[in-house]
Structure 1
């Protein structure tokens, strides 16, 4: 299992609150399946970050692209494999 950082940059702030409940429900479902390691908004309003746990970049992309924020163009997606290293 690898980690993938999905950077979700704000594109349509006027639609953000419309799709927020669907976005959070989607991430909750994935959390219950062990597919989300961490998540949260950027405090400056620029978007947010989701760290997915997946077997491949393809699987992570499928998960990220099924987010209602991405489907409806509210946010754009940058996806990168993350070589996580925890501090001691």
Structure 2
């Protein structure tokens, strides 16, 4: 499995607030299924970051396109394969 950092920059603040509960429920389901390693919001309010586990970028993009934030136009997304170097997480 590879890791992918998905940046979710804010696109629409009102839509983001409206769909936040749905987004968090989606991420919890993905975490339970082993697809999400970590997630969190940026403290400056500009968006958030999700670390996905997947075989390839296409799998991650398919998951990201199911996120209510993306579906509803609250957030954009940018996917980057990520190589973690911290020994704490291994």
TM-score tier after normalising by the smaller chain length = over 0.9
**What do residues 3-53 of structure 1 show as CA deviations (whole Å, max 9, x unaligned)?**
000000000001111101110000000000111011000000000000000
> Runs of 4 or more off by more than 3 Å in structure 1?
none
Alignment partner, residue 58 of structure 2: 58
Gap regions ≥5 residues in structure 2 = none
Number of aligned residue pairs: 88
Task: Please give the alpha-carbon distance, in whole angstroms, between the structure 1 residues aligned to 2:63 and 2:11.
Answer: 19
- Structure (1 or 2) with the greater strand fraction: 1
SS in 2 for 1:76: coil
Alignment partner, residue 83 of structure 1: 83
Gap regions ≥5 residues in structure 1 = none
Alignment partner, residue 49 of structure 2: 49
Offset of residue 87 of structure 1: 4.9
TM-score by length of 2: 0.93
Task: Please give the alpha-carbon distance, in whole angstroms, between the structure 1 residues aligned to 2:57 and 2:78.
Answer: 12
Alignment partner, residue 36 of structure 1: 36
